[in-house]
Structure 1
C-alpha cells in the first residue's frame, strides 16, 4: 500500500511527479550493459528490462519495481563509470544557469529524452558529479523510494558550504515546510522530503587527494538483507570492498563493481 506522501505525488495518467529538489533517480554510466547486469543481478538480485531510450539503456527492477537505470554511455561521453543521483527541478535550463552562476560545471545538457523529460549532468564546485531532471517520471516511480536507494550521500570538503550550493541550485527552501527541508544533525546535513531522509551531506573529503575514494563524490546506498553475502558475491565477481562496518544507520559495506563504480549496501 502506498503511503500518503506517495499518493500525493502520483499523477492521474500513471506517471509521477517527484518533489522539487529531492532525489528522483539514480543512474549507472557504464561501458556496456552485459557486465553490470550480470554483476548487479547477482549482488543485489535485480532483474532488467529494456527502455524506450534504445538498446544501450536498461531499467533495473527489484520485485518488478524500478530501482535504477543503466546506460552504456561512459565510453561515448568520455565519463567515468559511476553511479550518479538525479534531483528533480522545475526547469532544466534555469537549473543549469544556477549551477553556472555558482561557479560549478555543466558537463552535458540540458538533453531531451523520450520519456518527456530533460536532464543536465553537472559537477559541483568540489568536483562531485550529479544530475538534475526536469519532467515526469515513468509509472511505478512512486515505489522507487521503497525499492531503490535508501539515501544518496555526498562526501564533500565542507558540508555546510555544499548545503548552501545545492540549496540554491535545487531550491530546497522554495516550498517551505511542505517541500524539501534541511537540518544539521550529528555533524551532517540531513535532507528530508515528505518527512523521510533522502540525502545526507558530510564533511571530510579532500579535493586534491590522489585516492578517488577521498575526493568529493556522491554515493548511493541500497538496502539489502545480507550485507556480508553481497560483499562476498561482489568479490567473487571481480568487484572490491572499499570499507565495511556499523553506523547509526546499520551494518554497511562500501563496494566497487569490476569497472570501478562505487555504491553502498546497507543492512535492514
Structure 2
C-alpha cells in the first residue's frame, strides 16, 4: 500500500487504488442543477446535499446513503445531459494514455478536484465513461454491496469491449484485487470481490437512430414500485423510451429525464436471483 492509500485507509476512506478497475460512482451532468434535483427528488425520492467538489455539484442520498452525484454543465460547452459511470484507477494519466493508445478518446481531462483526479472518455464504439483516481465516497464498500446504481454496457461486441476495458482498467490481470471477468452465455459479467458490478452485452449499432441501441453505458436504479416511478417521471417532464421484462421476471423501464438524460428503473429482484448482483440487482 502506498503512502496516499495508507493515509486514506487510516481515515476510513476507500482509495481508487484499492478497488482499481471497478465502477466506483455514477454522475449526471445536466444543464440546470436545481431542476434536476427537483426531478430526481420527485421521481426517485432522493435528497441532496453539497459535496467537496464545489457548488456545481450535489450528492444524491436515499435513506441516508449516497447514491449518485449531479453536476451542472457549463453553458458554453453545449453538451447534452447524460449519466456517466466512473471506474477507479490507480493512475489516471496511465489509464488515459492506454485509452488513447487503443484508438479511443479522452474528451476531458485529466482534471484535478479537491479529492482526486478524473477524466471523461469514450471507448472505440463511442460509449462514454469516466476514470477516477483518488478518494471514493465514504463507505464505498456498502455502496457496492447495496448496488443503489448498477451498470450495463450495450456495445457492438461485448467480448471485444471486454478486452478493451481489461487493457485499460486492468480487469482480469494478475494483480491482487483486480476485477474478474466471466462469460455467461452471450454476456460478459464483471465481478469485484464476488459482487457483480457490471454486465456487457452485444448488439449495439453506432449509427442507429434509437439511442437505446447505440453503444452506451446504461445506468440502472432499482425501485420498489416501477409503475409508480414511471408515472412520477411522466408528471415531472420525463418520458418512457421502452420497457422489458428480464428472463428472471424483473421489469425494466428506460426513461428520459426532463433534460434529456437517459436512465433505467428496475424492479428489485427476488432474493437469491443468480442473475442479479449482490444487493439490489442488475
**The two structures share one fold, judged by TM-score above 0.5:** yes
Distance in structure 1 (CA, Å) of the matches to 2:245 and 2:185: 16
Aligned to 1:93: 93
Task: Report the secondary structure of 1:15's partner residue.
Answer: coil
- Any conservation in 2 of the 1:96–1:120 contact (CA below 8 Å)? yes
* Residue correspondence of structure 1 range 71-150 to structure 2 within 5 A: 71-73=71-73, 75-115=75-115, 117-150=116-149
Instruction: Look up the match of 2:262.
Output: 262
Q: Following the alignment from structure 2 to structure 1, what is the Cα–Cα distance between the partners of residues 74 and 142?
A: 28
Partner SS, residue 93 of structure 1: helix
Contact 2:155 2:214 in 1 (8 A): yes
What is the aligned partner in structure 1 of residue 165 from structure 2? Answer: 166
Does the aligned pair in 1 maintain the 2:170–2:178 contact within 8 Å? no
Q: Name which of 12, 15, 18 aligns with 1:17.
A: 15
Q: Secondary structure of 2:111's partner? A: strand
| Secondary structure in 2 matching 1:213 | coil
Q: 1:63 deviation in Å?
A: 1.1
> 2:45 matched to 1:45?
yes
Using the alignment, how far apart are the partners of 1:129 and 1:118 within structure 2? 17
Which portions of structure 1, spanning 4 or more consecutive aligned residues, are displaced by more than 4 angstroms? 175-178
SS in 2 for 1:40: helix
The answer to whether the 8 A contact 2:67-2:149 is kept is no
Give the CA deviation at 1:74. Answer: 5.3
In the TM superposition, residue 77 of structure 1 has moved relative to its aligned partner by 3.5
Contact (CA 8 Å) 1:158, 1:202: kept in 2 or not?
A: yes
Contact 2:26 2:149 in 1 (8 A): no
Helix, strand or coil at the partner of 1:179: coil
Distance 1:41 1:260 in 2: 16
Whether the aligned pair in 2 keeps the contact of 1:99 and 1:105 (CA below 8 Å) is: yes
CA distance in 2, matches of 1:178, 1:15: 17
Shift of 1:192: 0.6
- Aligned partners of 2:208, 2:152: CA distance in 1, in Å? 19
Which residue matches 1:7? none
How far apart in 1 are the matches of 2:137 and 2:244?
A: 36
Aligned in 2, Cα 1:257/1:202: closer, same or farther, shift over 3 Å?
same
* 1:102-126 Cα shifts (integer Å, max 9, x gaps): 00000011100011x1001001111
Paired residues of 2:155 and 2:216 also in contact (CA < 8 A): yes
Q: Which residue of 1 aligns with 2:196?
A: 197
Name 2:280's counterpart in structure 1: none
Q: Which has the higher strand share?
A: 1
Structure 1: gaps spanning 5 or more residues: 1-9
For 1:30, the equivalent position in structure 2 comes to 30
Q: For residues 69 and 185 of structure 1, what CA distance do their matches in structure 2 show? A: 31
Distance 1:260 1:60, change over 3 A: same
Superposed CA offset, 1:126-172 (max 9, x none): 11100000111132323222455442111111111111111111110
User: What corresponds to 1:230 in structure 2?
Assistant: 229
Gaps in structure 2 of 5+ consecutive residues = 1-7, 269-282
